Structure 1
Amino acid sequence: MRAVAIALATLLGSSINAAAAQDASVVIETGDVDRFYRIYDAAGGHPRADTLQRDYLDQGSEGLQRLARLRNVTGQSIADAITKRPEMYVQARDCGDVLPRVRERLAVALGRLQQAYPQMRSAPITIAVGRGKPVGVGSRESGVQIGLEALCANPWMNPDVEDRFVRVAVHEYAHVQQVVAFSEAEGVTVLAAALEEGAAEFVTELTTGAVSYAYMAGLVSGREASIETAFAADMDKTELSDWLYNSTPDKPADLGYWVGYRIVKAYYQQADDKQQALADIFEMRDPKAFLARSGWRPGTALGQ
C-alpha cells in the first residue's frame, strides 16, 4: 500500500472516460495503515497502548484524528482490541492488498457522482486502523473515515472484499453530500433516518451498480410488501432499533436502509430531471414532504 494521498483524477486509466471525473479532487489517504503496521510489526504484533497513542494516533492524518475524536479511538482501546481479537489485525493486513484497486474504482464511482451532481462537495476519504469499529463514518463536516480492520472483519455485509470497500466508501461519501444529517438530531424518526441511509444506498447503486449491503436482497425476498407495510406503521416513531443500526454478524438486519432506498429510488425514477432529483435527495430537509412527492407506497414496483 502506498502511504500517499492521491487525487482521484490521477487514477483514471485510458479505458475510463476521464471527462466523468476530471474535476474530482477527492483525496484517498492510506498512510495511517502503513504507519500502524510498522508499529505493529516492531512490537511483534503486540504494541503497547502508549506507543499506539504517541506514534500512531498522535502522528496520524487529520482523518484519523477525526475518527479518534468521533468514536473514542485511543491507544488503549486499540491495544485492548488487539488483545481480544488478534486475528482481526492479522486479517486486515492481507485484506488491505485490495486498496490499490479500490482507489481506481472509487475514482470511477465518484467521477460518476460528480457528473450526475456537479455541485458535489469534496472531502477526504481516510482508510485507517482502529479498535474494531466503526466500519465507516461519513459526514458533511468530517469527511469519510473507514476502519480497515472493521470492514475486513465483516464479510456478511458483502463477501467480495473489494466490492465491500468501494461501496461502503461511496455510501459514506454520499453522507458528505447531505445537507441535513437527520440521524444526529434529537428525536429523529424512523422515516428520517431511513431516508438518510437509504439515500446513501441509492447513490451507491447509482454510481457502482449495487448497494453496499449486498445481503439485503436475500433478506427481504418474498417479504417486500409486508416489510414495507410494517415500516409505514412505524415511520413516525423515534425508537429506531427495530429498523436501523441493528445488524450483527449473526443477524444482519437494518431493514430501514432498504425501505429508505426504495423510497429514494421511487422519487428519482419518477422525476423527469434526474440531476434536479439527485439534488433534491441530497438537499432533503422535510422527510414527510419528500415521501409524499416520491409516490412510494408499500409494495410499489420499481424499475431497475
Structure 2
Amino acid sequence: MSRFIFRNPFLLAFSVILGTGAGKVSAQRSDNVFTSDIAHFWTAFDSVQATQDAERQVGIMQVLYIDKGTAGLKRFMQLRNFDARKLVETIRKYPKFWASIRPNTMQVQPQVPVIQQYIEKFRELYPELRPANMYFSITAIRAAGVAIDSTALIGTEITMGNKYTDVSEFPDKRLANFFQSKETNNIIPVSVHEYVHTQQSTEGKSLLGQCIYEGACDFVTELVIGEPLTHSYILYGNKHLPELKAQFQKEMYSEDYSNWLYNGNKVAVGDLGYFMGYAISKAYYEQAKDKKKALREIISLNYADMKAVTGFLNTSGFYGDSVFLLGGH
C-alpha cells in the first residue's frame, strides 16, 4: 500500500485474543500480531499533554513510546523517517485530528477476529500463503500500510480514519481524499492489501510493473473479502475507464510514476495507477480458465521484468486484441 509514502492511500492476524480495559487499548500480542504500540502511544500522548516544555515532551515520547516499541515500530520509523520529535510535532500541530482519531484506534481489537477470518480465506484461495508478522503502530501520520519482506506494518492513526475524522488542520487534501469514501475505518482492506505484498517478490521498474504490483493487491483483497472495494480511485476509475486506458497506454513504459501513483496530495483523485493495475489483474483473472493458477501467477509475477509484465498485460486482454511489444507499443 506497498509501500505507501503517503503511498497508498492504502494485516493480518492469525491467532490472537485481545482484551480491553475500561477506556484503554489492550497491549497483548500473539505469535504473529503485535498491538502494544497503540497502548504505549496513548500513554505517551497523555504524558506529553502534561507539560509545555517541548524538549521534555520529546523525551517523554522517546521513553514511553519508542523505547518500549515493537520491532515493527522501529522498522516503520526507518522506512518512513520519523522519530520522537516528529511525533511530538504532529501532536502539537494537529490536536483536533488526534482527538478525533483516538477512539477509532481503540477499535482495532474487535476487527482482529474478522481479519483472521479473511487471512484464512486467503489461504484457501492461495494455499502457498506464507506466514507474516503484523504490527499495529502509530506513526507521525506517515503511512497507512507498509510491507517489507515478511512483515506488514499498519499506521493505525491513518488506517482507522474515515469521512468523520477531523482533518481540518491539514494544509493539503491528502488525508481528506483518502478518508472521503470511507463511512467506517479502512482496517480490513488495508490489512489484506499489505499482507498480499508480503507474498510478492519484487516491486516494478516501470509504471506498468508498479501499477500491477500495487493494483494486484487490491484485486486479491477484493477476492478475499468478497465484495467490491470502495477506494476513491476505484470508484473514479470504473466511471472513467476508456479515457484512463487511453492515457495510461501512452505512459505505461515510463519510469515516471507521478501522474499515476503516490500523488494523493497533488490531485483530487490520486493513485489512479492502483486502479489500472487492479483492472488489469482483474481482466487477467477473469479470462483464465484455471482461477487458482491465475491467482498464483498474479501474486508471483516478476513486476520488475518488462517482458513478464508486458506478457501479463497482453494475456489479460485489457486492451482487447492489441498486442504490445516489449517496452513499446
Deviation at 1:202, TM superposition (A): 0.3
Deviation at 1:107, TM superposition (A): 0.9
Aligned mates of 2:226, 2:105 — CA distance in 1: 23
Answering whether residue 251 of structure 2 is matched by residue 234 of structure 1, we say yes
Counterpart in the other structure of 2:48:
43
Aligned mates of 1:215, 1:166 — CA distance in 2: 16
Contact 1:49–1:79 (CA under 8 A) maintained in structure 2? yes
Deviation at 1:210, TM superposition (A): 4.1
1:12-47: CA deviation from partner (whole Å, max 9, x where unpaired):
xxxxxxxxxxxxx97232110001111222333767
The structure-2 alpha-carbon separation of the partners of 1:229 and 1:299, relative to structure 1 and needing over 3 Å to count, comes to farther
1:195-215: CA deviation from partner (whole Å, max 9, x where unpaired):
001101101101113465522
Contact 1:195–1:257 (CA under 8 A) maintained in structure 2? yes
Aligned mates of 1:127, 1:222 — CA distance in 2: 34
Aligned mates of 1:113, 1:266 — CA distance in 2: 20
Counterpart in the other structure of 2:158:
150
TM-score w.r.t. the length of structure 2 is 0.77
Aligned mates of 2:101, 2:235 — CA distance in 1: 27
Deviation at 1:97, TM superposition (A): 3.1
Counterpart in the other structure of 2:166:
none
Contact 1:179–1:283 (CA under 8 A) maintained in structure 2? yes
Counterpart in the other structure of 2:78:
69
Aligned mates of 1:298, 1:29 — CA distance in 2: 45
Counterpart in the other structure of 1:115:
124
The structure-2 alpha-carbon separation of the partners of 1:299 and 1:174, relative to structure 1 and needing over 3 Å to count, comes to farther
Deviation at 1:53, TM superposition (A): 1.9
Aligned mates of 1:198, 1:223 — CA distance in 2: 17
Answering whether residue 310 of structure 2 is matched by residue 288 of structure 1, we say yes
Q: Which is further off, 219-228 or 151-160?
A: 151-160
Counterpart in the other structure of 1:270:
287
TM-score w.r.t. the length of structure 1 is 0.83
The alignment yields a C-alpha RMSD, in angstroms, of 2.6
Contact 2:126–2:296 (CA under 8 A) maintained in structure 1? yes
Aligned mates of 2:245, 2:141 — CA distance in 1: 32
What amino acid does structure 2 have at the position aligned with 1:52? Answer: M
SS at match of 2:258: coil
Counterpart in the other structure of 1:178:
200
Gaps of 5+ in 1: 1-5, 12-24, 183-187
Contact 1:225–1:299 (CA under 8 A) maintained in structure 2? no
SS at match of 1:63: helix
What amino acid does structure 1 have at the position aligned with 2:153? Answer: Q
Please show how residues 67-106 of structure 1 align to structure 2 within 5 Å: 67-106=76-115
Deviation at 1:160, TM superposition (A): 2.8
Aligned mates of 1:26, 1:200 — CA distance in 2: 24
Deviation at 1:247, TM superposition (A): 1.1
Aligned mates of 1:299, 1:89 — CA distance in 2: 51
1:193-240: CA deviation from partner (whole Å, max 9, x where unpaired):
100011011011011134655223442354211111111111001110
Contact 2:13–2:115 (CA under 8 A) maintained in structure 1? no
Q: Relative CO higher for 1 or 2, CA cutoff 8 Å, sep ≥ 6?
A: 2
Aligned mates of 1:242, 1:78 — CA distance in 2: 30
Aligned mates of 2:218, 2:45 — CA distance in 1: 35
Percent identity of equivalent pairs: 28
SS at match of 1:48: helix
Counterpart in the other structure of 1:191:
208
Aligned pair count reads: 276
SS at match of 1:145: strand
Gaps of 5+ in 2: 1-11, 18-29, 164-176, 303-307, 323-329
Contact 1:28–1:103 (CA under 8 A) maintained in structure 2? no
